[in-house]
Structure 1
């Protein structure tokens, strides 16, 4: 697969910048309205990862639409029956849930998280 922008070292810098903005007083609450950091365990490595993602919420369901899914890997951890995920600092606290990745007929991918608590 060709190396796309989502696989470049620039993404790590941008992700760290957004996480920094999310934690700033004043600006943080505004940024966190559409961004959250997720924590999950890699399906093959067993390592814990954290990454910021855009999301939409409806009650106890959070939807993370994946832009350019073929250039990203993290969502594949939630194929099939899905798996556990933590959304950091959602509602002022870490929220656990169960995430399942779904691919639509057009090739788009969304990860649906059902919050546990």
Structure 2
């Protein structure tokens, strides 16, 4: 059973703030960072730099991010079409790469990041 209604932006912002706090926590950070990373990108329209916590899976040089409740989030729109540059904090260092977002026929969104060498 999945969530079908719109999420208030305040709720999304609050969850992101709590996740980011856990991510940087001396006590819980190591555990959280196994599946969560911070993605940093420049907004296409605003030109501003943003960072947000995301869940991820890693296979070699590819990072896969499944966007949970994509219609309540806007960050992934920066990577539609040809995609764009990103930075991910992985294993204690910032890694750059190229991200591309795809929406499947069921409305699910996946962002694939190919890390730079």
TM-score by shorter chain over 0.5: yes
Aligned counterparts, 1:7-86, within 5 A:
7-86=8-87
Superposed CA RMSD? 1.5
How many residues were matched structurally? 113
Q: How far apart, in 2, do the equivalents of 1:12 and 1:68 lie?
A: 13
Identify the residue that residue 4 of structure 1 maps to in structure 2.
6
Q: How far apart, in 1, do the equivalents of 2:85 and 2:10 lie?
A: 27
Unpaired segments ≥5 residues, structure 1? none
Partner deviation per Cα, 1:90-117 (whole Å, 9 max, x = no partner): 0110110000011212221100000113
The alpha-carbon deviation at position 4 of structure 1 amounts to 2.4
Q: How far apart, in 1, do the equivalents of 2:72 and 2:14 lie?
A: 17
Identify the residue that residue 103 of structure 2 maps to in structure 1.
103
The alpha-carbon deviation at position 55 of structure 1 amounts to 0.7
TM-score by length of 1: 0.88
TM-score by length of 2: 0.88
Q: How far apart, in 2, do the equivalents of 1:8 and 1:69 lie?
A: 12
Unpaired segments ≥5 residues, structure 2? none
